[in-house]
Amino acid sequence: MLGILGKSISTGIVTTSYPVTPPEVSRHTRGRPEIDWANWTDARPAAAVCPTGAISFQNNGQQRRASLDLGKCVFCGLCAGVDKSIRMTNVRECAARRRDDLVTTAAYLLKTDETHDRMVTPPSSPKPAVSAPLPPPGASVEAIGQQIKERVGKIFGRSLHIREVDAGSCNGCEIEIGGLNSPVYDIERFGIHFVASPRHADMLLVTGPVTRNMELALKKTYDATPDPRLVVAVGACGCSGGIFGVNYATRGAVDAVIPVDLYIPGCPPHPLTILDGVLRLLGKLEERR
């Protein structure tokens, strides 16, 4: 015991400094992919290697409609490896309140070899509507957390209680969610607490594709959560079914079983992405109230 206390004292405070220090994120951390839509010459190579169909296209005569669905994207980077028009970014703020807001689409005229001739419809992806401005990309964890704390206090009194539900996850998302309670992020200082019972919860964080064995349990958990209950689908599996999709063992996305208020993409999403997503969702609840 004394050894543990001595180690803690010698290590010192590891929590991100408030209020100006940005989150310490490795430059190797993969964020969402970015496509140079104007100069994209062919969607076929990227679509062929994408393991979840996040990049897809549909030909209609001499036109091609190409899409990037962040809800399906696992941030593997295979598309960037075969297409110079795609690069992996370090941008992690990509949660959305509507499933369609995770999809970006553009249309192209085709050449005779079915490569892109020119863009006829520029990419457009609806931006999540919030009642207050979100922190700028790269904002410190404390800046995001402070806004969460202010909104939580305004909406729920002094705290937000979360019940995490593993509906069939590989535990990757659970590791990142657990990281929110680590000394580095220390989410409880923002008035956010994880609880053991859905009857004490304001929000459900649901991970994984919903397995058929967990379908009834998830529905009962949702019914046991008091109003105004909020549901967050965490990770590519929660948003779309991810690498598993829909099969004999899984129902796929969380919204196939219960209503979802927020989608947080990633495989798994970074803790900062989850914090940013909670802020977006609380903005929606403020509008509802």
Per residue of the chain (289 residues), what is the pLDDT tens digit? Answer: 778 777 777 776 666 543 345 556 677 778 889 999 999 999 999 999 999 999 999 999 899 999 999 999 999 999 999 999 999 988 877 889 899 999 999 999 999 999 999 899 988 755 544 444 555 655 666 677 777 767 766 666 667 899 999 999 999 999 999 988 888 878 887 788 999 999 999 999 999 999 999 999 999 999 999 988 899 999 999 999 999 989 999 999 999 999 999 999 999 998 888 887 887 787 755 555 5
Pairing of strands 230-234, 262-264: parallel
Q: Could you give the CA distance from residue 268 to residue 74 in angstroms, rounded to a whole number?
A: 8
C-alpha closest to that of 124 among 72, 76, 66: 66
Beta strands in 36-101 (DSSP E): 55-60, 63-69, 86-88
Residues 6+ away with beta carbon under 8 Å from 14 = 183, 184
Q: Could you give the CA distance from residue 260 to residue 253 in angstroms, rounded to a whole number?
A: 10
Question: pTM of the predicted model, to two decimals?
Answer: 0.84
Q: Could you give the CA distance from residue 228 to residue 156 in angstroms, rounded to a whole number?
A: 10
What is the reported pLDDT for 36? Answer: 94
- Phi, psi angles (nearest 5°) of residue 93: -85, 90
Q: Which element (helix H / strand E) includes 275?
A: helix 271-288
C-alpha closest to that of 238 among 32, 22, 70: 70
What is the reported pLDDT for 109? Answer: 94
What is the reported pLDDT for 196? Answer: 92
Q: Could you give the CA distance from residue 273 to residue 280 in angstroms, rounded to a whole number?
A: 11
Q: Could you give the CA distance from residue 211 to residue 150 in angstroms, rounded to a whole number?
A: 36
The structure tokens listed for 200 are: 């004490």
What is the reported pLDDT for 259? Answer: 95
What is the reported pLDDT for 276? Answer: 78
What is the reported pLDDT for 270? Answer: 87
Q: Could you give the CA distance from residue 102 to residue 162 in angstroms, rounded to a whole number?
A: 24
C-alpha closest to that of 147 among 280, 284, 263: 280
Q: Which domains does the chain have, with CATH numbers?
A: 33-124 (no CATH), 141-288 (3.40.50.12280)
What is the reported pLDDT for 134? Answer: 54
